[in-house]
A = this chain, B = another copy of it.
Amino acid sequence: MTTPDRYAPLSKFLAAVKGKYKLPILIYLKHGPKRYSQVYRRLAGVSERILSKQLRELEQEGILLKTVTGTKAPLRVEYALTAHGFTLCAVVQQMWEWGERTLEKEAAQG
């Protein structure tokens, strides 16, 4: 941001959700933990490089918890929202609802 200090809280939020697929990932994981391959299939179109990068970032921010089961292939890796992740989803919900209201307004008028 222009001045890191002045907008620090906002920058923190924006950093947390920065990336084309992070919000869809969060929304998908609201319904419960999912495996890597499930997320991959859900987000039709994402490349593996981008998906694994954005999952890693969400994990490092404490928004997702990654759980690995098994030590040799085939691995089972699950991603789940943390408590902090759920608080983020609540804000995403507000963003969603603003978009809904805006679309409705546009449909009503032109």
Contact = CB atoms under 8 A, between A and B. Distances in A.
Interface of A: 1-3, 7-14, 16, 20-21, 23-24, 27, 43-46, 84, 87-88, 91-92, 94-103, 105
A84 to B, nearest CB: 7
A44 B2 contact: yes
B92 A10 contact: yes
Contact of A9 (B7, B11, B88, B100): B100
Tell me the dominant secondary structure on chain A's binding face.
helix
A88 B99 contact: no
Contacts of A8: 99, 103
19 contacts: A1-B20, A2-B21, A2-B24, A2-B43, A2-B44, A2-B46, A9-B98, A9-B99, A9-B102, A10-B23, A10-B96, A10-B99, A12-B103, A13-B99, A13-B102, A14-B23, A16-B99, A87-B101, A95-B95
